[in-house]
Amino acid sequence: MTTDSNTQMVCIAVLPFENLSDNRDHEYFSRGFVEDLITDLSHFPSLQVISSYTSRKIGAKAQDELTIARELAIDYLLTGILHRQGDQIRIHAQLLDTFNGSILWAERYDAPLDTVFDIQDDIVERVVGALSVQIDKALLAAARKKPLTSLAVYDCWLRGMDHLRQGTREADREARSIFKQAMNIDPNYSRAYAGMSLSYFNEWSCQLWEQWEENERNAYKYAMQAIQLDDTDHIVQMIVGRILMYRRQFDLAEQHLDKSLALNANDADNLAQIATCKAFLGKAKEGEQLFLKALRLNPYRNIWYHPYGSFTYFVQRQYDACIELALKGPLTDVWVDLPGYIAAAYAYRGDRQQAARYLDIFKRTFQKEITSDRKPQPDEIVSWLKMANPFKHDADMDHLVDGIVSAGLDYTPDKRDAATAVSRLKTNPLPICVFKKDNDLWRLTFEGSTVRIPEVKGFLDLALLLVRPGAEVHCTELMGSPVLSGDRDRVMDEQARHSYEQRIRDLQAEITQAEQMFDLGRTEILKAELDQLTDHLSKALGIGRRTREFNAPVERARAAVTWRIRSAIRKIEAAHPSLGRHLANSIRTGTFYSYSPEKEHDWLT
């Protein structure tokens, strides 16, 4: 791996393909094929490609190829065999990891010889596309195992993009922190700025409608910084083109998109995204061809390719193909309005039942993601569709809206109300707060910010208290058992009390040491344990530090519920600071528990 303090490159050599054909005249094909591979691989900024001259020298030496590659700090070798069989040509290619000699990828191609140059172009594209995907997958897997503090800039790019693909606000924030780290490592690394732009683009085009203008400005600002640093990066060109398209600067957007294709026509992920852009620009057929090429180049493609292809078919009025592709992946994890497109496609086919079904999915997704559980009005949905779908031609926009109306959306166009609907989306998207479990995660919305985090003990207790503001709830009710009375026990004996006090002294010393070493993580853990011990000890001791008596079942319930609620609030505060502070100030604990906020909030649980 070629590295320095600022960057990291993957080094690869393409060795001469062995010609097993009877006709030695086919050597020209083998040499030309390898030269084209080297040229196309060089278009990927993450790859450092050894020259064909050096590659031929490696292949000609009697010494083991892997040994030579390790000596030259080459990470991967691409090797192959070319064999003519009658009027067919067969090519085997494989990618080797020089560190351990393992085969990371291999493929065999068979094609007619009479179209040899077309075959050569096609094979080069497929090898390069699949190769770049495989290398990035291997690098991402390695980067995931590293602490953030040890990542090089390209690791940061891969890790940040991995977060962005999750499509959540929390993941976008995580991605931004990683891209900022890349900027600190190398202030001139353009993809760090491109990644920042994408993180704001996600929230601008898909998520935070109450911050529309701010996110739009940030997406544009970072994209411009990226392209000023490097206008030869095809991904940066694509990002700039897409943002300009959403700003309705269509001609300029297309120039950047076309330049992205000219710089690198073999990056499958990039092709899939440009395919949709072309459809927005009124060139859906061209977009379809780019999408099909992306499928061919990346046999390990992600499921998110399918919506991009379905969109190009919808714009071309090919509804069967649109529906087939759209239903191959998750409906709501990529685009909020994907179910809306499916509903419109079914409506145009005349299938009212399926159209209504997917319209309902679209409306429920819209309510959850865009208006945060407030039921939207039809004019808001249409206004949002027009904002989120930058069609160059009005006919394409009308085609989408008319299809969704035909699917059952109760909407009557009224230009006078359009501005009002947009204003409601931007300024009043959050009339309620949310503390609700969605599948395996809890969705927490407060003061305009939403996070999704895994469940911990105490979330159910908090949810019950939030919908009963001011009410006092006994600890045994939260434990799910009736109020009990019975024998009274002592909270703790003298030996236990002395053990608690000794542990508290030890914790105080350990906290001081951790703070001196700036070990913030350990400090937080130690302080949490100290809080629990001092709280328990203070409740166990009465006047004169004499051990109190208590109702054993009730006290056990109180201690358990208090611990899990406080643990839950600490977990929330780490992910959503404002909500964590609000709960810490509003939740009262003890034998009876209550939610007593200073200001009334309407909670959905």
Distance CA 484, CA 434 (A): 33
- Check residue 203 and give its pLDDT: 61
Distance CA 376, CA 341 (A): 18
Report yes or no: 422 and 212 within 8 Å, Cβ to Cβ: no
Task: Quote the tokens at residue 162.
Answer: 């991995």
**0.85 exceeded by pTM:** no
> What digits encode the pLDDT tens for the residues 245-292?
888 889 999 999 999 988 888 778 888 889 999 999 999 999 999 998
Distance CA 263, CA 278 (A): 17
DSSP assignment letter at 206: I
- Check residue 16 and give its pLDDT: 81
Q: What backbone phi and psi angles, to 5 degrees, belong to 317? A: 70, 25
Other Cβ atoms less than 10 A from the Cβ of 144: the count is 11
Q: What backbone phi and psi angles, to 5 degrees, belong to 189? A: -80, 105
Report yes or no: 6 and 186 within 8 Å, Cβ to Cβ: yes
Report yes or no: 353 and 406 within 8 Å, Cβ to Cβ: no
CA 157 vs. chain centroid, Å, equals 12
Which of 102, 133, 109, 87 shows the shortest CA–CA distance to 17? 109
Average pLDDT over residues 517-542: 64
3-state DSSP assignment of residue 87:
coil
> What digits encode the pLDDT tens for the residues 299-356?
555 667 888 889 999 999 999 999 999 888 766 666 788 899 999 999 999 999 999 9
Burial of 353 (0-12, 13-18, 19+ CB in 10 A): exposed
Q: Which residues pair with 435 in a beta bridge?
A: 444
Distances (CA, A) of 77 to 53, 64, 206, 396, 578: 15, 12, 41, 47, 52
- Check residue 352 and give its pLDDT: 92
Q: Following DSSP, what letter does each residue of 518-529 receive, concatenated?
A: T-HHHHHHHHHH
Q: Which residues pair with 8 in a beta bridge?
A: 3
- Check residue 1 and give its pLDDT: 45
Q: Which residues pair with 9 in a beta bridge?
A: 2
Task: Quote the tokens at residue 246.
Answer: 């959403």
| Highest-confidence segment of 21-30, 59-68, 93-102, 255-264 | 255-264
Please state, rounded to an integer, the average pLDDT across all residues of the chain.
77
